[in-house]
């Protein structure tokens, strides 16, 4: 596993991580924004304590282990794209914590996300983080789960954030939450 000093990680502040999108985009996971480790490795959800990939594996959404903390290789990326899975973020710039983002940044990111979904046409969008979703889209009373309104051409789910800072979520609870939109996208039966 890669190791970074605090100073090395800080050097990645405000950097961007490219979206992971394939041609057959069925399920688009949306993070809040890249963390510094994610920016350093250019791999979404890369922090060693992030539970995103272990939850995807437990749910059966991916069929092999992905260990992103050193950075994904092309085979890892192709595995996700081949399963119809894409990953993007509401806000493109990296920060140490999502609470460093302004409400305006989240709203602007929401507009960018809607444009991306209209362009790429995923079946399902799963936004990881209820608080960020509420702010980005002005849905103050939204709760985790399938949302009643369509999201452009897609069905929208809000799922728990897999960050290690989300102490309420476990790999098992995340796997259950992520399996629902994966079923709706036709990735799981």
Query: Residues with Cβ < 8 Å from 39, sequence gap 6 or more?
Result: 12, 13, 15, 16, 17, 94
Residue 151 placed within a domain? yes
Residue 9 placed within a domain? no
Residue 113 placed within a domain? yes
Residue 151 sits in a domain whose CATH number is: 3.40.470.10
Residue 148 placed within a domain? yes
Domain limits for position 155: 16-184
DSSP letter (8 states) at residue 33: S
Residue 27 burial by Cβ neighbours in a 10 Å radius (0-12, 13-18, 19+): buried
User: CA 159, CA 144: separation in Å to the nearest integer?
Assistant: 6
Residue 137 placed within a domain? yes
Residue 3 placed within a domain? no
Residue 107 placed within a domain? yes
Per-residue pLDDT of the chain (189 residues; tens, 9 = 90+): 778 999 999 999 999 999 999 999 999 999 999 999 999 999 999 999 999 999 999 999 999 999 888 889 999 999 999 999 999 999 999 999 999 999 999 999 999 999 999 999 999 999 999 999 999 999 999 999 999 999 999 999 999 999 877 778 999 999 999 999 999 999 998
User: CA 185, CA 189: separation in Å to the nearest integer?
Assistant: 9
Residue 6 placed within a domain? no
**Total domains in the fold of the chain:** 1
């Amino acid at each position: 596993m890669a190791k970074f000093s605090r100073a090395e990680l800080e050097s990645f502040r405000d950097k961007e991580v490219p979206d992971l999108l394939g041609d057959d985009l069925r399920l688009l996971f949306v993070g809040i924004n890249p963390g510094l480790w994610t920016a350093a490795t250019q791999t979404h959800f890369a922090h060693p304590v992030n539970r995103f990939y272990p939850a995807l594996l437990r749910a059966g959404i991916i069929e092999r282990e992905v260990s992103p903390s050193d950075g994904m290789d092309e085979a890892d990326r192709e595995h996700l794209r081949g399963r119809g899975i894409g990953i993007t973020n509401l806000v493109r710039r990296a920060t140490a914590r999502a609470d460093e983002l302004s409400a305006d940044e989240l709203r602007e990111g929401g507009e960018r996300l809607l444009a991306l979904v209209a362009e790429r046409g995923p079946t399902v969008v799963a936004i990881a983080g209820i608080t960020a979703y509420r702010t980005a889209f002005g849905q103050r009373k939204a709760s985790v789960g399938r949302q009643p309104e369509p999201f452009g051409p897609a069905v929208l789910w809000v799922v728990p954030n897999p960050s290690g800072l989300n102490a309420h979520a476990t790999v098992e609870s995340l796997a259950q939450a992520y399996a629902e939109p994966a079923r709706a996208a036709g990735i799981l039966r």
